[in-house]
Amino acid sequence: MKIGNFVSFRDVKLEDGFWQKKYDLNKNVSIFSVRDRFEETARFDAMRFNYLKTGKKPHIFYDSDVAKWVEGVAYIMEHDRESMKENEKLIDEMVDAMAEAQREDGYLNSYHQQIEPEKIFKIRTNHELYCCGHFIEAAIAYHHATGKRKLLDIMEKYVDCIIRAFVTEKTADFATPGHEEIELALYKLYRYTGEKKYADLAKHFLTRRGVAEEDRGYYDLKHSYATQDNADIYSLREAVGHSVRALYLYSAITDLLQEEGDVRLKSSLDSVWRDIVDGKMYITGGVGSTHRYEGFTLPYDLPNMGAYSESCCAIAFIMWAMRMRVVERNAEYGHVIERIAYNNLISPVSLDGKGFFYENPLEIAKEDYGREVACTPENREHLPIRQRVEVFHCSCCPPNINRWFAEMAEVACFDEDITYIEQYISCTANGKYGAIRIKENYAVDGKAEISSVNYTAGKIAVRIPEWCTTYTAVLNGNRVNGASEKGYAYFEVDEKFTLSLDFNIAPIFISANANVRANAGRVALCYGPLVYCLEGVDNGDRLNKISVDVDELSDAKIYSDFHGFNSIEMRGYRDEDNGKLYFNAKEKRTKEVTLKFIPYYAFANRGDTDMLVWVREK
Amino acid sequence: MKIGNFVSFRDVKLEDGFWQKKYDLNKNVSIFSVRDRFEETARFDAMRFNYLKTGKKPHIFYDSDVAKWVEGVAYIMEHDRESMKENEKLIDEMVDAMAEAQREDGYLNSYHQQIEPEKIFKIRTNHELYCCGHFIEAAIAYHHATGKRKLLDIMEKYVDCIIRAFVTEKTADFATPGHEEIELALYKLYRYTGEKKYADLAKHFLTRRGVAEEDRGYYDLKHSYATQDNADIYSLREAVGHSVRALYLYSAITDLLQEEGDVRLKSSLDSVWRDIVDGKMYITGGVGSTHRYEGFTLPYDLPNMGAYSESCCAIAFIMWAMRMRVVERNAEYGHVIERIAYNNLISPVSLDGKGFFYENPLEIAKEDYGREVACTPENREHLPIRQRVEVFHCSCCPPNINRWFAEMAEVACFDEDITYIEQYISCTANGKYGAIRIKENYAVDGKAEISSVNYTAGKIAVRIPEWCTTYTAVLNGNRVNGASEKGYAYFEVDEKFTLSLDFNIAPIFISANANVRANAGRVALCYGPLVYCLEGVDNGDRLNKISVDVDELSDAKIYSDFHGFNSIEMRGYRDEDNGKLYFNAKEKRTKEVTLKFIPYYAFANRGDTDMLVWVREK
């Protein structure tokens, strides 16, 4: 059940534009900065099995942190191996150490081998299979980029060990991973090597979830931290639990659907998709609204201040949406990818490429920090950090971002019977039907130009953005109307063509569903794919004093002054403090102010200041 | 530094009206219900020193729970001893057991003697002095009501033990109480017995606070749970920490000020008063906005959903305001007492008199309960209970309410050079200048009639309510204008007079200070002293979908159909759910609805339903 494929990022060359800048920042700054922080925090040492030497204890998830970084390096090598020379050396030496440390039976985990060997495959929540999954992805990427088999061999040997422990000999004390990820990695390995046993193991893990007797002991955790054990994969109805794990699971289920075409799986996945997209997704594309178990709560529960909206979710959600697109021709998947890409995916990274957010709140009010003056540290309420940092104790997000930016050009084009332009990203893409060029300044002027380098399909489809109400298309200088279906417009084209699209971008205020309590009486300013926000540095702190009249947006001024993107100015109103705690509502006064909105993703790059996405309607 | 005294509740006879009904409910239902729950939960057994017999472990605060109940019973006896016959017997038998259990040296505490005798006066946070304080108050009340000295003798002997442990021999491991209360009780005991040593001990505790070396070990708790150790009592500037403890402390400091007239104390207390009244007080008069340490946070931090607003604070705050009135002629103290009395003081008790709230939120949204579906019980967010219960594990509030309703008629009149009518409560009050009658249906029609039974002062003053903008006064049938000062109007009267006051009550929407983030763009409906709320049972759940146009309040309909009080109906608007999660703000639709507001204090008496005080402005 596959209707096509995304054009591999290996066949997409980013060209001058926003996304190339983001790509370069990752390649030139972030990947090195993350490496240095990982070196300092003994993450590489963990994989060098240096614990006895350094005394620095590995953590149960260190392998996965390193693996994601390796994967990112490998993807960058595909286009510029030279730039990663230093990193390649580091990786090769580390892989040598891993080969030496790998047990006779294939087992390989820096934490368990060095710290708790007696607990290997005994504790479901200990992330062993998750770590393995990430190293499988890294091994594939590294082999493809360098031709070096060593890491891939290590991981194939490890997977054989896992097959014995979980399938043939069943020596493991649990049946399915506490943290999903290996499932989708195994499908990747299967597709890369052609070895059916990897797909079989993935399916084994997927189909045992929620039903395996061996996991029963963990089932009382099903309403606790994390695991998606509430239903078997054929009966999913809603998104629950830890959201990164959930989205990796849904991705792997979609892989299984792609392989075997079982329509029950499509129905499961469709239910979960709707549950998220219709009620559990922030306007930024973020998901997972509670910090308590980093996860999904109930529909419409989308608090702004405490929005967890983990950076890893942005990536996992795009990964799933891409897989869904592979089984269904529907522009909605591209809409969601665009929403995430321009907001929750890029808000984690500082404009200088070094700092990262793990949580991506939609509101910061400094007044709330330390309000509980008499709290002990253990007793304090959870509030997200207000400035990005270079490394976390649990630093899953930074290397995930490293690898994702290195491969995300893959979201641009989808090859079916024709090419679908899924995302407007300046690039040249070499697909099944030849090469196409996309040129855009999409998030600034709402325009994109698609042209052939050489293109043979005779037809092309473009995704009409969700925010676009009317557009114009000009083909080789002539206004044309494309036939529309499921969010795509179709155009007949020659081998040589230029299609200019203007989606009539304009600022717009968005309301949320009446059930979203946090946004009652509030609006969010959007401009094309970008969600905007107010920051204290421009508008004064205590941003909830501010209200807007949505009808006055027509007078807004747009300045292309913000790191190549637009800032938007409009009239607003600020409640005045009359010194009284309570007073007759008729005495309430506001004063006119000029508001400056900036793209949400760029918040917290100009010092410690308040931020607000959902602004009160006057 | 005393300018007068409240007319003792013993000299006030409540007459037909709202407050008499509340008094009777307490006397006929609540006091018995609390007794029964305390019997079931072995609280009386604790004081009978029955632990070895029953095996039911006393808690460190059980003595105080029982003491407050005894105090309540004693106050009721002042007007109707017969009605408490059964309770008197219970108390006498318990007092016998206490006398037997009291140590040779005077020490008496059901927890420490039975469970941890080795820790007597070793652990500051163990509530021993707090428990003693409450039993001192109970002993005075019981002696006054019955003439029986036994309990008073016990407590005087215990206080002598405390003087040795904390002052003369200094055997205690700490200097000042972890939970304040004994200080104000000691002033009461001093005034009741005339024994200076009690005032000295109170002053000792007060002046050692925040400076005593012996408490240093607890000072790192000063930014943690509870204790008011942040400053000495002459240097207080803001209200911090556990709010019940803070308010008991401020009350005792005011007692010290009354006794010694040190103006530095007045300046300390004035600062703290303003800090609370101008920024830390809910519109209901509730204080203490965080559940984490049951305490004060920062100015303007007044969340509605999580409003802790502990019932005991309502009482403690009134106690302090009354003491402040004793040193300063200013109607503001009466304003605050009224605000608390009609809202946060009575919201804890169910209309049937049996159920109690500990926390008094200003919003209930059922959708928030259980939203974190994958939480373990330990990990769950704190949310207040939605229905009143008859007893708590920490059941400080119910007996506090028992004693307070039994004596609160004392707030009615204040005797200075003349009589000040402080609160409009139907009663006959026998003060210094003879007897006065107050007749009112104040919270319904905004009127009150003050008449002489026999009155000799030649002048009378009445507090003009904070909410009143214009009033009319009719003296013996003639319109008169009283001279105004600091919120009071003064009238020349004969021995025989009838003064009819009409404060022109009307519904009004109140705004909160622009810095109160929780109430930005919101208004609260008030009617005279009463704050109103919406309940789901009348208006449908998800009350944040509702908005009001404040100008439409003039069309409101007022029905006197709610337990003798008014309900208020007006037009409102409910956001419609169009099925989309995000959409163009211009497509937002609301539908007209008729809203029904009821007095806040009566919320949660008609089943489990949403509630909202601060409603969105359209």
C-beta atoms of A379 and B278 within 8 A: no
Q: Check residue A488 and report its DSSP letter.
A: E
Q: Distance (Å, rounded) from C-alpha A396 to C-alpha A310?
A: 10
> How many other C-beta atoms can be found within 10 angstroms of the C-beta atom of residue B481?
10
Alpha-carbon torsion (A5, A7, A8, A9), positive or negative: negative
Q: Which residues of chain B have pLDDT under 50?
A: 224
> How many other C-beta atoms can be found within 10 angstroms of the C-beta atom of residue A392?
16
C-beta atoms of A223 and B374 within 8 A: yes
Percent residues over pLDDT 70 in chain A: 99
Find, among B198, B205, B200, B197, the residue nearest to B176 by Cα: B205
Query: Three-state SS across B520-587?
Result: CCEEEEEECCEEEEEEHHHHCCCHHHEEECHHHHHHCEEEEEECCEEEEEEEEEEECCCCCCEEEHHH
Coil, helix or strand for B442? helix
C-beta atoms of A225 and B368 within 8 A: no
Is residue B184 within 8 A of residue B255, CB to CB? The reply is yes
pLDDT tens digit string along A180-229?
999 999 999 999 999 999 999 999 999 999 889 888 777 665 554 567 88
Percent residues over pLDDT 90 in chain A: 92
Chain A residues whose beta carbon lies within 8 Å of the beta carbon of residue B278: 579, 581
Alpha-carbon torsion (B425, B428, B434, B436), positive or negative: positive
Left (φ > 0), alpha (ψ -120 to 50) or beta: where does B567 sit?
A: beta
C-beta atoms of B371 and A290 within 8 A: yes
Chain A residues whose beta carbon lies within 8 Å of the beta carbon of residue B374: 222-226, 240-242, 292-293, 295-296
Nearest residue of chain B to residue A280 (CA atoms):
B581
C-beta atoms of A550 and B586 within 8 A: yes
Question: How big is chain B, counted in residues?
Answer: 618
Q: Distance (Å, rounded) from C-alpha B82 to C-alpha B89?
A: 11
- For B375, the closest of A292, A575, A581 (CB atoms) is A292
* pLDDT value of residue A226: 60
Chain A residues whose beta carbon lies within 8 Å of the beta carbon of residue B371: 290, 297-298, 301
For A287, phi and psi rounded to 5 degrees?
A: -135, 165
Beta bridge pairs of residue A507: A527
Chain A residues whose beta carbon lies within 8 Å of the beta carbon of residue B593: none
Nearest residue of chain B to residue A582 (CA atoms):
B512
C-beta atoms of B575 and A514 within 8 A: yes
C-beta atoms of A297 and B373 within 8 A: yes
CB-count burial class (<10 Å; 0-12, 13-18, 19+) for B594: exposed
For A324, phi and psi rounded to 5 degrees?
A: -65, -35
Half-sphere exposure in the Cβ direction for B507 (13 Å, CA): 25
Q: Distance (Å, rounded) from C-alpha B331 to C-alpha B169?
A: 45
* 10-residue mean pLDDT series, chain A (618 residues): 96 96 98 98 96 92 98 98 98 98 98 97 95 98 98 98 98 95 98 98 96 81 66 93 96 98 97 98 97 93 94 98 98 98 98 97 93 77 94 94 97 97 98 97 97 95 97 97 96 96 98 98 98 98 97 96 91 97 98 98 97 97
Query: Three-state SS across A65-123?
Result: HHHHHHHHHHHHHHHHHHHHHHHHHHHHHHHHHHHHHCCCCCCCCHHHHHCCHHHCCCC
Token reading at B290 = 């965080």
pLDDT tens digit string along B562-573?
888 899 999 999
Q: Check residue A281 and report its DSSP letter.
A: B
Token reading at A496 = 């040589």
For A95, phi and psi rounded to 5 degrees?
A: -65, -40
Find, among B31, B41, B88, B75, the residue nearest to B61 by Cα: B41
Angstroms from A299 CA to nearest CA on chain B: 9
Chain B residues whose beta carbon lies within 8 Å of the beta carbon of residue A298: 367, 370-371, 373
Chain B residues whose beta carbon lies within 8 Å of the beta carbon of residue A510: 582-585
Best B527, B543, B582, B593 member to test A by mutation, with max A CBs in 10 Å, is B582
If you write DSSP's letter for every residue of A333-371 in order, what string do you get? HHHHHHHIIIIITTTTB-TTSS-B-SS--SEE-GGGTT-
Angstroms from A547 CA to nearest CA on chain B: 8
C-beta atoms of A292 and B520 within 8 A: no
- For A582, the closest of B381, B512, B585 (CB atoms) is B512
The answer to whether ipTM exceeds 0.90 is: yes
Q: Distance (Å, rounded) from C-alpha B264 to C-alpha A17?
A: 67
Sheet of A472-475, strands arranged across: A12-14, A427-431, A434-440, A447-455, A498-502, A472-475, A478-480
Query: Which run of H or of E encompasses B403?
Result: helix B397-407
* pLDDT value of residue B564: 81
CA dihedral B580, B585, B589, B590 (to 10 degrees): 110
* pLDDT value of residue A189: 98
C-beta atoms of B575 and A520 within 8 A: yes
C-beta atoms of B587 and A297 within 8 A: no
Widest distance between CA atoms in chain A: 79
C-beta atoms of B547 and A379 within 8 A: no
* pLDDT value of residue B245: 96
pLDDT tens digit string along B49-63?
999 898 999 999 999
* pLDDT value of residue B493: 96
Nearest residue of chain B to residue A242 (CA atoms):
B374
Coil, helix or strand for B99? helix
Amino acid at B324: M
Task: Give CA separation, B350 vs B282, B304, B528, in Å.
Answer: 20, 20, 22
* pLDDT value of residue A223: 54
Say how many Å lie between the first and final Cα of chain A, rounded.
50
* pLDDT value of residue B328: 98
C-beta atoms of A226 and B542 within 8 A: no
Angstroms from A524 CA to nearest CA on chain B: 9
